[in-house]
């Protein structure tokens, strides 16, 4: 029998008193991730989207045609619109101003009343209150019915009642907020490009609405006005304005800016069925990658949803029907699959419906079942008519999809051949791979190194228990426009695929990834950068879940080895090199004339030399040696381990995708066939490059 010591505290009983009730906006601050997804940079920018969406919803019902987002000093954001303004009268249920109710109460707002907003992205009525709860300070100014009203808040709590602060001939709402650093511990620095990209997208979706972005982060005068739009104050700050009448057709044209269309006319339809408005635009390009962007009530659905399912089903069915009727698909030909019809398509799908269901508060995926049927019916009928009315476009599309079908079959045959050959020869792993001993993927690391020389050094210097080495010879195939069959013909790519263990294409399985750290280690020169870009293209286009899972890293080997007597240090940049030299006693004016690879004579003063009577004979010369590494192969195994492979002191950079659309465009420009676009990109960004001369 176990005896419980009298000194051991009794466990608290689980009863009614154990239940914690969070009131007001406390749940938001307690679990912010439930409302904005993350407290990192994405969550920070989500705050801007939540307030902007309120203004955009005003525009969607025709009460607003001008929206401005401004970045202000000290981390403040200002969102203004010329809508009707948030009501400031007393709410009959809460007995306080409707403005205060909306800003301080979860699930409160006009989005639950289909008469006020027939369609809205703000489904849950938590946007403004969540932003308020997660902000150190918030201020709302409402221009309405000839008056100007204001209320301020601190961490979601009102500092005073709504009060009238003046008269106004304008109408609209201004929301000024400063995210709380206690919540966003990674910082409250907003990315202007990210905000511009999102708002440009929204401007395409709401035709006839002007959307402006003002960067006033260095101008304190931006705080001094209660006028709705800052850009009218002529503060002399940068601003960007978007206004589009073409809607989704313009957005498709923008996405295809650096592509070669295979048919002239962009397909477009906008129609309503059973209170669901469907808007679709698409165009095929000479590429093998599909680009589908989906929105529900103008909210970007990064994970797609039912509207995308309806689109894909109707697209496959319609192209198969037309191909058979036009006798382009012969009796002996098999039907197009979903993968065939999506190859090379750029499509934007937008649905608007009154009762909308998302999977999660961040609205990444649409769950409304009625959207699938509406998109399938409207898009299917319109596409059938488009193909009949535009026979040249139709034939170009069908031929494009037919080529994809044939390529898919060829790729499958090549893949099966590779797998059969590997099985027959008993080669589950490539011979050039020096595998690690551990069978745990969580512990395993795969170093992809450039060339046999670096491969030899890294194999000798590694930790054999956890680190595997795969040397690549030369530059791998540019897979940006290469199909799977051609990729599998490459010895280097095939070796990498087998080493990863996930397979590729339709049989890709992330759970079979053999290493949870895949580290690209190339030389610090132009060739090394090119090889790194080719590898990132391969991972982005064919192993995207590996990037999204956070398994891809880039090693940062040192640029210099600096020794002075028995002292030695590594420097990973020119700035670090200067810092090390100063620590070693090299004067600032001597640093500028140090030649890489040279031995530099320095002078150290002894204790006696510090006195005023020191003589030249009392000074002791020493030498500093600076070795500039051009490649990993120049390092001996111990140096490579100490600087690049040792987990205790190495520097790794994790690869992630912050903006999928922007990343897609960059890969198109850098690795595609549009030479003019690539030249323009290089010229525009030349000043940002570090040139090794």
Catalytic residue IDs: 450, 523, 525, 527
Output the six-digit token pair for 375: 């998109």
Contact 656, 472 (CB under 8 A): no
- Give the position of tokens 């601003």: 239
Query: CA 92 → CA 98, 101, 254, distances in Å?
Result: 9, 11, 48
Please write down the HEC assignment for all residues of 157-183: EECCCCEEEEECCCCEEEEEEEECCCC
What burial class does residue 146 get, using C-beta atoms within 10 Å of its C-beta: 0-12 exposed, 13-18 middle, 19+ buried?
exposed
Question: Quick one: DSSP state of residue 641?
Answer: I
Provide the 3-class DSSP secondary structure of residue 12: coil
Query: CA 225 → CA 24, 39, 78, 215, 585, distances in Å?
Result: 31, 31, 11, 16, 54
What phi-psi label fits residue 217: left (phi over 0), alpha (psi between -120 and 50 degrees) or beta?
Answer: alpha
What lies within 8 Å, CB to CB, of 519 at 6+ separation is 445, 446, 447, 448, 553, 554, 555, 652
Contact 640, 461 (CB under 8 A): yes
Q: How many angstroms separate the CA atoms of 577 and 582, rounded?
A: 9
Contact 80, 74 (CB under 8 A): no
Strands 291-296, 345-352: parallel, antiparallel or unpaired by DSSP?
parallel
Provide the 3-class DSSP secondary structure of residue 89: coil
What burial class does residue 353 get, using C-beta atoms within 10 Å of its C-beta: 0-12 exposed, 13-18 middle, 19+ buried?
buried
Phi and psi torsions of 426, nearest 5°: 70, 25
Provide the 3-class DSSP secondary structure of residue 393: helix
For residue 416, how many C-alpha atoms fall within 13 Å in the half-sphere facing its CB?
6
Query: CA 625 → CA 38, 479, 587, 591, 673, distances in Å?
Result: 48, 43, 15, 13, 46
Helices (H), 465-601: 484-488, 491-500, 526-542, 544-548, 574-583, 588-591
Q: How many angstroms separate the CA atoms of 329 and 200, rounded?
A: 40
Q: How many angstroms separate the CA atoms of 680 and 673, rounded?
A: 13
Q: How many angstroms separate the CA atoms of 336 and 349, rounded?
A: 21
């Amino acid at each position: 029998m176990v005896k419980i010591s009298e000194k051991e505290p009794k466990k608290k009983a689980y009863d009614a008193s154990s239940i914690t009730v969070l009131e007001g906006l406390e749940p938001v601050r307690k679990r912010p991730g439930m409302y904005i997804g993350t407290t990192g940079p994405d969550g920070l920018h989500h705050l801007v989207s939540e307030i902007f969406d309120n203004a955009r919803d005003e525009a969607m019902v025709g009460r607003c045609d001008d929206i401005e987002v401004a970045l202000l000093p000290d981390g403040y954001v200002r969102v203004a619109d010329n809508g009707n303004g948030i009501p400031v009268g007393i709410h009959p249920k809460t007995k306080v101003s409707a403005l205060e109710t909306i800003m301080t109460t979860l699930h409160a707002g006009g989005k639950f009343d289909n008469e006020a907003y027939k369609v809205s992205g703000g489904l849950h009525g938590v946007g403004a209150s969540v932003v308020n709860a997660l902000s150190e300070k918030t201020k709302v100014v409402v221009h309405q019915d000839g008056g100007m009203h204001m209320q301020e808040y601190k961490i979601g709590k009102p500092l005073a009642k709504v009060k009238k602060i003046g008269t106004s001939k304008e109408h609209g709402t201004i929301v000024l907020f400063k995210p709380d650093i206690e919540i966003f511990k990674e910082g409250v620095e907003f990315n202007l490009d990210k905000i511009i990209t999102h708002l440009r997208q929204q401007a395409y979706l709401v035709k006839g609405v002007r959307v402006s972005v003002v960067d006033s982060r260095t101008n304190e005068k931006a705080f001094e006005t209660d006028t709705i739009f800052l850009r009218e104050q002529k503060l002399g700050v940068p601003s960007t304005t978007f206004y589009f009448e073409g809607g989704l057709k313009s957005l498709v044209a923008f996405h295809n800016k650096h592509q070669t269309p295979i048919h002239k006319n962009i397909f477009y339809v906008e129609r309503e069925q059973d209170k669901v408005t469907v808007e679709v635009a698409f165009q095929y390009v000479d590429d093998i990658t599909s680009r589908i962007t989906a929105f529900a009530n103008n909210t970007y659905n990064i994970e797609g949803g039912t509207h995308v399912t309806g689109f894909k089903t109707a697209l496959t069915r319609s192209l198969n029907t037309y191909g058979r009727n036009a006798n382009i698909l012969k009796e002996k030909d098999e039907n197009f699959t979903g993968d065939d019809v999506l190859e090379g398509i750029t499509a934007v799908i937008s649905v608007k419906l009154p009762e909308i269901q998302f999977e999660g508060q961040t609205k990444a995926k649409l769950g409304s079942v009625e959207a699938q049927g509406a998109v399938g019916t409207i898009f299917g009928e319109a596409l059938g008519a488009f193909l009949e009315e535009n026979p040249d476009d139709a034939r170009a599309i069908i031929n494009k999809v037919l080529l994809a079908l044939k390529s898919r079959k060829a790729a499958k045959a090549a893949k099966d051949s590779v797998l059969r050959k590997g099985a027959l020869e008993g080669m589950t792993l490539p011979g050039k791979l020096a595998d690690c001993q551990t069978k745990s993927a969580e512990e395993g690391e795969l170093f992809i190194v450039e060339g046999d020389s670096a491969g030899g050094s890294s194999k000798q210097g590694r930790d054999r228990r956890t680190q595997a080495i795969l040397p690549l010879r030369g530059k791998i195939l540019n897979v940006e426009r290469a199909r799977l069959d051609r990729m599998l013909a490459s010895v280097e790519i095939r070796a990498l695929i087998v080493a990863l263990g996930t397979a590729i294409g339709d049989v890709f399985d992330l759970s079979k990834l053999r290493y949870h750290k895949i580290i690209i280690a190339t030389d610090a020169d132009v060739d090394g950068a090119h090889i790194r870009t080719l590898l990132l293209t391969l991972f982005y286009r064919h192993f995207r879940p590996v990037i999204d899972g956070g398994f891809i890293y880039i090693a940062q080997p040192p640029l210099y080895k600096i020794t002075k007597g028995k002292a030695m240090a590594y420097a990973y940049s020119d700035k670090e090199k200067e810092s090390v030299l100063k620590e070693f006693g090299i004067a600032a004016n001597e640093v500028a004339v140090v030649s890489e690879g040279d031995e530099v004579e320095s002078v150290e003063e002894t204790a006696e030399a510090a006195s005023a009577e020191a003589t030249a004979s009392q000074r002791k010369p020493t030498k500093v040696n600076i070795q500039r590494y051009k490649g990993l192969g120049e390092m001996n195994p111990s140096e490579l381990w100490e600087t690049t492979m040792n987990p205790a002191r190495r520097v790794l950079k994790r690869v992630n995708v912050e903006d999928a659309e922007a990343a897609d465009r960059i890969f198109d420009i850098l690795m595609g066939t549009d030479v003019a676009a690539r030249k323009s990109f290089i010229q525009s960004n030349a000043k940002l490059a570090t040139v090794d001369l």
